[in-house]
Amino acid sequence: VPVIDLNLTINENPVKLQVEPTARLVDILRDELQLTGTKISCGIGRCGACSVMIDGQLVNACLTMAYQADQTSITTIEGVSRDQEIDPIQKAFLEEGGFQCGYCTPGMVMAVKVLLEEVPVPTEEDIKMALSGNLCRCTGYGGIIRAVQRMAA
């Protein structure tokens, strides 16, 4: 099988990898790099569990081929908490009951990060729009929305 050389930055660390042309970014993150905070649920771009940032944009890592990430800078949920300190967004989720099983949470946090970078004080409508690609089976979204509002307050 032919392989493709990749040079990219993941969570501010330079990474060199060889990948097969058919490899998805989500599988490389989870299986090759053990960055298992990025989740797989639907696998077809519907749920947002696999959300990561590529060059500041929110993307579904299950829909992104690994080769497309060449020369980019990727942030995963592991790059959000630093030095054993959780990110303020993660803290707000904790304080507002923004998760139950937690499976959707890494993707939600990535989506909220991108939202708050673009719209520091979002309306409830902005929050719902920004999170419309991220599904949660547990919370009913109330705690998630409150968590984002707490960040913006």
Residues that bind ligand FES (CB under 6 A): 40-43, 45-50, 60, 62, 99-104, 136-139
Q: In the chain, what is the straight-line distance between the N-terminal and C-terminal CA atoms, in Å?
A: 52
DSSP 8-state code for residue 82: B
Q: How far apart are CA 79 and CA 64, in angstroms?
A: 19
Which residue number, 101 or 129, has a Cβ lying nearer to ligand FES? 101
Q: At its nearest, how many Å lie between ligand FES and the CB of residue 24?
A: 9
Q: At its nearest, how many Å lie between ligand FES and the CB of residue 98?
A: 8
Q: What residue has token string 């990060």?
A: 113
Q: At its nearest, how many Å lie between ligand FES and the CB of residue 97?
A: 10
The type of residue at 26 is V
Which residue number, 68 or 100, has a Cβ lying nearer to ligand FES? 100
Q: At its nearest, how many Å lie between ligand FES and the CB of residue 138?
A: 3
Q: What tokens appear for 130 in the block?
A: 């920004």
Which residue number, 61 or 151, has a Cβ lying nearer to ligand FES? 61
Which residue number, 39 or 79, has a Cβ lying nearer to ligand FES? 39
Chain CA centroid to CA 38, Å? 6
Nearest alpha carbon to residue 52 among 69, 34, 67, 70 = 69
Instruction: Name residues whose C-beta falls within 8 Å of residue 130's C-beta, 6 or more positions apart in sequence.
Output: 111, 112, 114, 115, 119, 122
Q: At its nearest, how many Å lie between ligand FES and the CB of residue 95?
A: 15
